[in-house]
Amino acid sequence: MTASEIISLSALELGQAIKEGRTTSPEAVDAYLEKIAAEDGRFHSYITVLADEARARAAEVQAKIEAGELTGPLAGVPVALKDNLCTKGLLTTCASKILYNFRPPYTATAVQKLLDAGAVILGKANMDEFAMGSTTETSYFGPTGNPVDPEHVPGGSSGGSAAAVGAYLAPYALGTDTGGSIRQPASYCGVVGMKPTYGAVSRYGLIAYGSSLDQIGPLAHTVSDCAAVLETIAGHDERDSTSAGDPAIDMHYTDALVRDVKGMKIGIPSSYFGEGLDHEVKEAVLAAAEVLRAEGAEIEEFDLPMVDYAIPAYYVIAMAECSSNLSRFDGVKYGYRTERFEDLQDIYKRSRSEGFGTEVKRRLMIGAFVLSSGYYDAYYNKALKVRACIKKAFDEAFAKYDVILAPAAPTTAPKKGESLSDPLKMYLSDIYTVSVNLAGLPGITVPVGQDAKGLPIGMQILGNTFCDKTIIRAAYTYEQAAKERKGGRA
């Protein structure tokens, strides 16, 4: 196979081609590394490209495939990893100056599961610093560009992962989703991105932002790829007490790749389609809903209360948790340390002041404030109560509907600099995604069209807790129906 033929394949198609001997893992890795070298200067989707390591690993994996030791669907297929996932001995920076030289002594569970299945790591993808942002512009190493138009942002915080997939610089990638950080960039970049139910995937080895909100998930070109990746990385992990340990939970996600939504009840929350939603986004999502109706689903509008409170509740909780989680970065144990200091207290102060970027420092200060004596009840405790109300509202909705359809973002990808200069505008870009994290629900974004500028539009499909297979089935049905209507690849 030629390099262009290899890169045109989905992750599962590439895995099948390697298994059948039509290409090899080293050939696939070389094809992607050459494309990264030639084109990633336009996008900056990677922070670290692991060319030598990837080639050595591909040769090792190929030998195991030929010996029959690796038989999984993703064996030999390259992957990009968001740079907040620990990889033993390999730079893991969180796109921050304070971790510019950090090489973890262990590997994240989700990454190890991919490696056990025969994955080959191409590199570590760019991101918003410590996953704090919605545009991948807060990275210490510079911003990432949208694969459709590099003058626009790719979304965030998993913007490097989404851009790498969207620009065909990786067949699939892992990202993390704290408040929409997989689903929103997937929408902006025209790829599929899935946030699993909280607890479905171990967070061990994920450098935490908000521990009660973070979840690792896949980005890829197809729903099938996302399902296969999720099936590989999901499951209980004794090193993460929040990972799901109930054996009754069905995590055979590829079983849900069935084109069938007949009788499925789909709710469309009217509050998600009001003021603030771009007209072209609204029309594209509603048109996608009609595709599912034509496939036999029952579509109904309903009222989902508490949505207006999701953004303030989310940012109070997320910033409180980040102020706690990031207290470990002090310039003493590892990472960046200031060169000038007077005493230990001064090391802490200067290292953190010099090592963290503006957006991270803003969130740390707000988080410390809402947790401080006298303000804890007024802000943090109140936000937790709102979170419980949001979860209750979703519980009531899912008592009636199998899935919920919504936009993934209020607009298509803005130009670079538009959101970064206005933090409130950046926070509001998460208005349709954060409530899912507050409630611990699964959500998947699928491409549903483009605006007049050619920028991608994505639709979210949301499900009840541990009903990930239901949203995969709905997403797969839409993808196949849309592909059929186009007369080609979705």
β-pairing verdict for 298-302 and 265-269: parallel
**Residue 103 is encoded by which pair of tokens?**
């090489």
**Which amino acid is it at 163?**
A
Looking at per-residue pLDDT, the higher value among 103 and 490 belongs to 103
pLDDT at 61: 98
pLDDT at 420: 75
Average confidence (pLDDT) over 137-164: 98
Contacts 24+ apart (CB under 8 A), 379-384: 379/316, 380/316, 380/317, 380/320, 382/316, 383/312, 383/313, 383/316, 383/317, 383/320, 384/317
Percent of the chain scoring above 70 in pLDDT: 99
pLDDT at 490: 47
Residue 25 has pLDDT above 50, yes or no: yes
Residue 450 has pLDDT above 90, yes or no: yes
161 annotated active-site: no
Residue 330 has pLDDT above 90, yes or no: yes
- CB–CB of 462/433 below 8 Å? no
Measured CA to CA, the distance from residue 465 to residue 439 in angstroms comes to 8
Highest mean pLDDT among 270-274, 281-285, 332-336: 281-285
Mapped onto helix, strand or coil, the DSSP state of residue 404 is: strand
Tell me which of 156-165, 184-193, 415-424 is least confident. Answer: 415-424
- Among 122, 131, 126, 43, which Cα is nearest to 76's? 122
Cis amide bond preceding 421, omega within 30: no
pLDDT at 423: 76
Percent of the chain scoring above 90 in pLDDT: 93
Average confidence (pLDDT) over 106-131: 98
pLDDT at 478: 98
Catalytic option among 10, 139, 157, 435: 157
Catalytic option among 139, 181, 224, 323: 181
Q: Which CATH architecture has domain 3-256?
A: Alpha-Beta Complex (3.90)
Average confidence (pLDDT) over 75-103: 98
pLDDT at 426: 81
Q: Residue 119: which residues within 8 A CB-CB, separation 6 or more?
A: 74, 75, 77, 78, 79
Residue 489 has pLDDT above 60, yes or no: no
Mapped onto helix, strand or coil, the DSSP state of residue 299 is: strand
Interior CA angle at 130 toward 232 and 183, to 5°? Answer: 50
Average confidence (pLDDT) over 283-304: 98
181 annotated active-site: yes
3-state secondary structure 170-209: CCEEEEECCCCCCHHHHHHHCCEEEECCCCCECCCCECCC
**Residue 421 is encoded by which pair of tokens?**
């200069």
419 annotated active-site: no
pLDDT at 269: 97
Backbone dihedral angles phi then psi of residue 143, each to the nearest 5 degrees: -75, 160
Tell me the pLDDT of the chain averaged across its residues: 96
Instruction: Give the side-chain half-sphere CA count within 13 A for 170.
Output: 35
Catalytic option among 10, 25, 45, 82: 82
pLDDT digits (tens, 9 = 90+) for 308-318: 899 999 999 99
Residue 488 has pLDDT above 70, yes or no: no
Measured CA to CA, the distance from residue 128 to residue 358 in angstroms comes to 11
Residue 259 has pLDDT above 60, yes or no: yes
pLDDT digits (tens, 9 = 90+) for 194-243: 999 999 999 999 999 999 999 999 999 999 999 999 999 999 999 999 99
pLDDT at 421: 74
- Tell me the H-state helices in 380-433: 382-398, 423-428
Average confidence (pLDDT) over 34-55: 98
